[in-house]
Structure 1
Amino acid sequence: MILSALASLSLALLLGGMAFFAAVVAPLVFTRLPPEWAGRFIRQLFPVYYLWLIATAGIAALALAPGRPVDALAMALVAALTIWLRQGLMPRINRLSDAAQAGDAAAKPRFDRAHRLSVLLNFAQLVLAAAVLLRGVDPLS
């Protein structure tokens, strides 16, 4: 019972954080701040955002492991992918953005591809977290 509640809470916090960032934070930052400030702010925010995802997905994975091992594996995958996004892809995106702003014409399409990949992977993580959360909802209760 306690693990189930912990899993549900972690999943809700994971999903809520992802949805809030995508629907509220990112659009506000890029519509309300000058472009040079928006980029700097987002660069500071993303590492914290990714730590939130790693922590909540990791806790959910541990809480789900005894009773729902497939769902636990899915959340462990979300956490592991987020580690790669934070430590691998995000620094690459930042370097490409800097190069594009410095006038490197070849960096812009590479930045666009890397950014699209990060958005796609983040969306896939959101869908996976929602599916795991909904699988745990008992329709008869």
Structure 2
Amino acid sequence: MTLLALLATALLFGGMVLYSFGFAAFLFSSLPAMQAGPLLRRAFPHFYLFVLVASVVAALCLLPDDMTGAALMGLVAATVIPTRQVLMPAINLATDTGRTRRFKALHTLSVGITLGHIGIAAWVLSRFI
């Protein structure tokens, strides 16, 4: 179970880092903003679903050996749900209605949450050493 916990946590960490710093940056450097934005918007629900599934799997695999790590992965899972279901639609609405200040504030919050999730996954990974 420890190997599965390690792999699930590493997958979560790597997937979040790649999406956040690779995929999004690649889109905006490869496509005009008018194309990159809508494409990224379509990808985000899948990203959050990936984070949810990977964090739940990691939490379940960590449960027998590392209650702290399991709780932290559970925290990621619990916080990604409102991020996906409430915050993401609010960001999209702010974009659609031209509310730039609101978009910036909500986007900053979503970036902070994602960075927090990445940090939590990194810390849980460090516990395997």
1:20 aligns with 18
Cα RMSD (Å) of the superposition?
0.8
- 2:108 paired with 1:116: yes
1:103 aligns with none
CA distance in 2, matches of 1:22, 1:31: 14
> How many pairs were matched up?
129
Q: Deviations over 1:89-139 (max 9, x none)?
A: 000000000011xxxxxx2111100000000110011001000011112xx
Q: Larger relative contact order (C-alpha < 8 A, sep ≥ 6)?
A: 2
Q: CA deviation at 1:23?
A: 2.0
Aligned letter for 1:121? I
1:133 aligns with 125
Q: CA deviation at 1:80?
A: 1.1
2:69 to 61, 68, 71: 71
Give the greater-gyration-radius structure (CA).
1
Aligned letter for 2:116? A
Q: Which runs of 4+ in 1 moved over 2 A?
A: none
CA distance in 2, matches of 1:111, 1:94: 8
Return the TM-score normalized by structure 1: 0.89
Q: Deviations over 1:53-110 (max 9, x none)?
A: 111110000011122111101000001111111111000000000011xxxxxx2111
- Which sections of structure 1, spanning at least 5 residues, go unmatched? 101-106
- Which sections of structure 2, spanning at least 5 residues, go unmatched? none
% identity of equivalent residues: 40
CA distance in 2, matches of 1:23, 1:42: 13
